[in-house]
Amino acid sequence: MEIIYQDNNLIVINKPPGVSAHGGETVSGPTVVDFLLPKFPEIISVGDDPSFAKATEDKLIIRPGIVHRLDKDTSGVMVVARNQPTFEALKELFKTRKVEKTYWAIVCGRMREAQGVISAPIGRLVANPLKRGVEQATSMRGEPRQGRGRSRIRGARDAVTEYRVIKKGDMYSLVELKPKTGRMHQLRVHLKFIGHPIACDVVYGGKNVCCPDGCHRQLLHARSLTFSFPEGTRLNFEADAPEDFMLAQNVLS
């Protein structure tokens, strides 16, 4: 796991695919936290409830230092706080949408529009609370249409994603994504919603989703994070895509 940047307040990593951010009941294998704790033991007391670490070893489940997460199979930039004041400040930046996030994805199909905005509320699927879905049959501009009812989704919240097509092929497209909200699985759900699921994403694209040979995870990469910290100091961190993502781009040539 590559450490992109570190100082007294921050650790920025390029998370590889196949690694969960932190431990939990359903998590298997080494995590980002497992990688960071031996190198930065101070993060054990950083988080939503730092005092809890003094009484139990279950702090791993409370995500020590983890300000935000990426899905296990999503690669790319993650920032981790080394102290509580930094944790609180960064959490507020994410909450108030003052962090600019840029992702790259290889998606199924040749996208017609060069750029656009997907505005469609996202909530938990009633039939499967572990998955998310669009509130109803909403247009790409967020206008409701007749179709599936709201009963399939619970707790829907506004979700907005900007996209720009970088390169098109006959069967795949390389897309830059800028989520303006931070809903769970937002990019995967929104791309499925517009008919271009992320390549190899069997959870949202289905078992027959398009997938380049040799790829075994959704082809989504967190390319960069940009934010001001401390206030007035603009920071930008970028991470190169992993080998499987780069090789998959051959399907666009």
Catalytic residues: 71
Q: Write out the two tokens for 75.
A: 């690669």
Closest by CA to 103, choosing from 249, 210, 236, 241, is 241
Q: Where are the beta strands (DSSP E) in 60-171?
A: 75-81, 100-108, 115-119, 122-125, 132-134, 153-157, 160-168
CA 71 to chain centre: 6
Token code pair at residue 234: 């603009």
Residues 6+ positions from 171 with CB-CB distance below 8 Å:
108, 109, 110, 210, 251
Considering only CA atoms, which of 108, 217, 105 is closest in space to residue 161?
105
Closest CA to 30 of 57, 4, 1: 1
Rounded Cα–Cα distance for residues 121 and 1 (Å): 34
Residues 6+ apart with CB under 8 A from 208: none
CA 13 to CA 49: how far, in whole Å? 23
